[in-house]
Amino acid sequence: MDWFAVVEFREPLALWLAVLALPIAWAYRSSPGVVVFSSLSLIPGTSSWRVATRWIPDALLAFGLVAFVIALAGPRIGERSIEINRDGIAIMMVVDVSGSMQALDLSTQDREQTRLDAVKEVFAEFVLGSSNLPGRPNDAIGLVQFAGFADTSAPLTLDHANLANIASDLEINTDRRESGTAIGDAIGLAVERLRESQAESKIVLLLTDGVNNAGVESPEAAAELARSQSIKVYTIGAGTNGMAPVRLDDPRSGRSVLRRVPVEIDEETLKTIAERTGGRYFRATDRDELTDVYAEIDRLERVRLNEERTRQFDEYFALPLLIALLCAILGWLLRATLYRRLPE
């Protein structure tokens, strides 16, 4: 039953020729060569087995014709082969770990967390997938962290589980010698890492909550470098502008206290970087907005699927053709011997 479910015909219209089997067999059976009597009762032995089975040669010829038509229609079984080529994207995630990332304005209602803590959680969701984000299994992703200096935390890799672990270990910079926000240097380092990739599409996801005030390369020069390499830069301004709550240790009491400190995001520079490279600028002032930003970038930069469909066929015309020849030969032999008609 399974065989009939998958078989198809190369020339299905040829099957209509099978309807000719009955009229041809009838015409052959009614052809001249029989002796006509007014009554069969005059012929002795009219009820012999030859008379009772005289239809067999005609039936064999008709069945042979049907088998020949089936062979002519070309029965075959096809095996589908689908090849999907996925063109992955090379992504460098650039995360600010300067002191201002300890602000608590991205906390949720039930949990206090720093800006960096929120970024690390959404980072893992973006890479590995979650209920809100599908993940990036086909993309090579790397990580650059920066404060006053930029540093490669992870090169481009498909080992996303290990990458997420590395990101979870990011810590806010507390070394005064490395204080500041080197946005230009961070973008430049990310571009250098992306140059090593053979991917056709390359992007940088830069997240910061500050103003470029450190490093050697300016953000504008870094943007031009990215543009020259056909690398898009998506920029994300995280947190509020103005004042933000920060948990600090009170030197007098030794207890942790909340204080409001001034924070500033250079949105104009981030917009300029995105525009020059063909990317977009996003703003996230709370945890949900940050997730929405990464979801939007995920929709904008999806892997391209190239699907190639091929089919290979196994031909099965030989069997019905053999049956047709055997039936025809056997029918003619029987008609010429056991069921020979007189006069010839």
The CA distances from residue 80 to 3, 151, 284, 311, 317, in Å, are 15, 49, 47, 5, 20
Q: Is the pLDDT of residue 96 over 80?
A: yes
Percent helix, strand, coil in the chain (nearest 5)?
A: 40, 25, 30
The predicted-structure confidence for 204-239, as pLDDT tens digits, reads as follows: 999 999 899 999 999 999 999 999 999 999 999 998
State the pairing for strand pair 75-87/256-263.
Answer: unpaired
The CA distances from residue 155 to 191, 192, 196, 205, in Å, are 12, 11, 10, 14
Weakest-pLDDT range from 1-10, 292-301, 319-328: 1-10
Percent of the chain with pLDDT over 90: 40
Spans of all domains in the chain: 2-81+311-336, 89-302
- Bridge partners of 310, per DSSP, are 81
Q: In the structure, what pLDDT confidence band is assigned to residue 193 with cuts at 50, 70 and 90? A: very high
Q: Is the pLDDT of residue 186 over 50?
A: yes
Phi then psi for residue 236, to 5 deg, are -130, 120
Q: Is the pLDDT of residue 268 over 70?
A: yes
Percent of the chain with pLDDT over 70: 80
The predicted-structure confidence for 23-74, as pLDDT tens digits, reads as follows: 766 666 565 555 555 555 555 555 566 666 767 777 777 787 788 888 888 8
Mean pLDDT score across all residues of the chain: 82
Average pLDDT over residues 297-310: 68
- CB of 101 closer than 8 Å to CB of 172: yes
Q: Residue 1 has what pLDDT?
A: 46
- CB of 114 closer than 8 Å to CB of 101: yes
The predicted-structure confidence for 238-252, as pLDDT tens digits, reads as follows: 988 888 888 877 667
| pTM for the whole structure | 0.64
Specify the CATH architecture of the domain 89-302: 3-Layer(aba) Sandwich (3.40)
Q: In the structure, what pLDDT confidence band is assigned to residue 147 with cuts at 50, 70 and 90? A: very high
Locate 111 and state its tokens: 């949990």
